[in-house]
Amino acid sequence: MANVFDTLKERGFIAQCTNEDEVRAMLENERVSFYIGFDPTADSLHVGHFLGLMAMAHLQRAGHRPICLVGGGTGTVGDPSGRTDMRKMLTDEDIEHNCNCFKEQMKRFIDFSEDKALMVNNGDWLRALNYIELLRDVGPHFSVNRMLTAECYKQRMEKGLTFLEFNYMIMQAYDFMELNHRYGCKLEMGGDDQWSNIIAGVELIRRKDATPAYGLTFTLLTKSDGKKMGKTAGGALWLDPKKTSPYEFYQYWRNVDDSDVEKCLALLTFLPMEEVHRLGAFKDQQINEAKTILAYEVTKLVHGQEEADKAKAAAEAMFGGQGTSADIPTIAVGAEAVGQKLLDVLAANAVFASKSEGRRLIQQNGVSLNDVKVSDVDYVLAESDFPEGAALVKKGKKKYYRLHRA
């Protein structure tokens, strides 16, 4: 069986590592406890987190123990990494709610049964710290001069870096040391924008405890043009189906650039690499087959097979595909449809014989928009309802209509 370090490297995960040879040997010879931190800045994980969860899943499948650290403490400060402005301050109630949402979503990727993985909250120790003791215990091991050379701080220096945010690196380093003491955690992983923070933790453990600790960062999920992947017209691509429907999620991956298909298959699915290379070599029209497989596999991982099947069927009904009819009735609607009630638009275009029929069908859960049941008879169409300029309406069990924005 291949060393999981080599698996991650072959699939394109690894950006930087503190000592490749030692990390590879450790993963070969020990059951390693490792961690990734997730600050609860929203009530859902997004595609940026998905990459980290996939790396965790690979390591867990190889017999190692993931520690998912939710930032009930660091979330009160806010990570300046990759920011040119200060993050919004969250209340304790916001943080608790967001942490609970994260826990539920992580269970799709990580098996938490029988000590196979842990989920811990750094608020458990950071909130109990005595400031003077922290300064005396940890402060001497940090050079301000060196901290200011970190990319996450340099980006903020022009607009102003607050002392609050300046402490973030120290808090994250303290987390690694605390996890090392409590759970024998030897490896911290994160996005490549976390390199400075991860190095700080590795060095703190080595200086204070003279024990080995390691850091590893993943490549950031970017498109071929260098921009971050996972942004839509409506904002981030969320893993919560209430914030990004499985259909929208599926369509995002179905429409990635041709040049990004192989990379996404390697990073975001468990397909064997021979299959990834085969699909990635497709050109022209054939690449659409690879995109369909990518969209299905990723949606299945995040939302389950049933939702992936539904999203695939809806997409094929919308745009035509194998085993489906491409001649769904298409209704041209103007730009003014955005902001109008769905009921009014459908009744005006004879999808419903009358508004009362439409109202009754909606109340009976007989109408779907882009594979999401419409339960509100007063639902107003939004820009995000028209990915690729079209929306798919399902009436009853088998009748489909394509709303095309002219």
Instruction: State the DSSP string of 248-307.
Output: HHHHHHHTS-GGGHHHHHHHH----HHHHHHHHT--GGGHHHHHHHHHHHHHHHHH-HHH
Average pLDDT over residues 284-292: 91
Q: Which one has a higher pLDDT value, 305 or 248?
A: 305
CATH 1.10.240.10-classified regions of the chain: 223-324
Confidence of residue 323 (pLDDT cuts 50, 70, 90): very low
Average pLDDT over residues 12-18: 97
Q: Is the pLDDT of residue 81 over 60?
A: no
Work out the mean pLDDT of the chain and round it to a whole number.
86
pLDDT the model gives residue 69: 94
Q: Is the pLDDT of residue 311 over 60?
A: yes
pLDDT the model gives residue 77: 62
Average pLDDT over residues 348-352: 88
Listed residue (253, 254, 235, 242) closest to 372, CA to CA: 242
pLDDT the model gives residue 401: 83
CATH of 223-324, one of 3.40.50.300, 3.30.930.10, 3.40.190.170, 1.10.240.10: 1.10.240.10
CB burial string 334-364: b at 16+ within 10 A, e below = eeebbeebbbebbbebebbeeeeebbebbee
- Using a CB cutoff of 8 Å and minimum separation of 24, what contacts does 258-264 make? 258/283, 258/287, 259/224, 260/223, 260/224, 260/229, 261/287, 261/290, 261/291, 261/294, 262/290, 263/12, 264/229, 264/294, 264/298
CATH 3.10.290.10-classified regions of the chain: 328-406
Confidence of residue 110 (pLDDT cuts 50, 70, 90): very high
Strand ranges inside 28-109, DSSP E: 33-38, 65-70
CB neighbours of residue 384 within 10 Å: 16
Provide the pairing of β-strand 367-369 with 33-38.
Answer: unpaired
pLDDT the model gives residue 327: 52
Confidence of residue 1 (pLDDT cuts 50, 70, 90): low
Are 247 and 315 contacting, i.e. CB atoms less than 8 angstroms apart? yes
pLDDT the model gives residue 99: 82
Q: Is the pLDDT of residue 212 over 60?
A: yes
Planar angle of CA 71, 75, 76, nearest 5 degrees? 135
Confidence of residue 294 (pLDDT cuts 50, 70, 90): very high
pLDDT the model gives residue 84: 46
Q: Which one has a higher pLDDT value, 251 or 289?
A: 289
Average pLDDT over residues 140-154: 78
Confidence of residue 318 (pLDDT cuts 50, 70, 90): low
CATH 3.40.50.620-classified regions of the chain: 4-218
CB neighbours of residue 285 within 10 Å: 7
Confidence of residue 321 (pLDDT cuts 50, 70, 90): very low
Confidence of residue 31 (pLDDT cuts 50, 70, 90): very high
Q: What percent of the chain has pLDDT over 70?
A: 91
pLDDT the model gives residue 231: 62
- For residue 89, what are its two tokens? 């301050």
pLDDT the model gives residue 320: 57
Q: Which one has a higher pLDDT value, 372 or 105?
A: 105
Q: Is the pLDDT of residue 233 over 60?
A: no
Q: Is the pLDDT of residue 96 over 90?
A: no
Looking at residue 15, its amino acid is A
Average pLDDT over residues 329-350: 87
Are 72 and 96 contacting, i.e. CB atoms less than 8 angstroms apart? yes
Q: What percent of the chain has pLDDT over 90?
A: 44
> Residue 116 and residue 119: Cα distance in Å, rounded?
10
- For residue 46, what are its two tokens? 């997004």
| Least confident stretch, 73-87, 183-197, 263-277 | 73-87
Domain covering 4-218: architecture: 3-Layer(aba) Sandwich (3.40)
Q: Is the pLDDT of residue 79 over 60?
A: no
Helix (H) and strand (E) counts for the chain?
A: 18, 13
Q: Is the pLDDT of residue 7 over 90?
A: yes
Q: Which one has a higher pLDDT value, 279 or 314?
A: 279
Q: Is the pLDDT of residue 325 over 50?
A: no
pLDDT the model gives residue 281: 94
Q: To which CATH superfamily is domain 328-406 assigned?
A: RNA-binding S4 domain (3.10.290.10)
DSSP state of 41: S
Q: Is the pLDDT of residue 257 over 80?
A: yes
pLDDT the model gives residue 76: 65
pLDDT the model gives residue 264: 96
> Residue 244 and residue 385: Cα distance in Å, rounded?
11
Average pLDDT over residues 350-375: 87
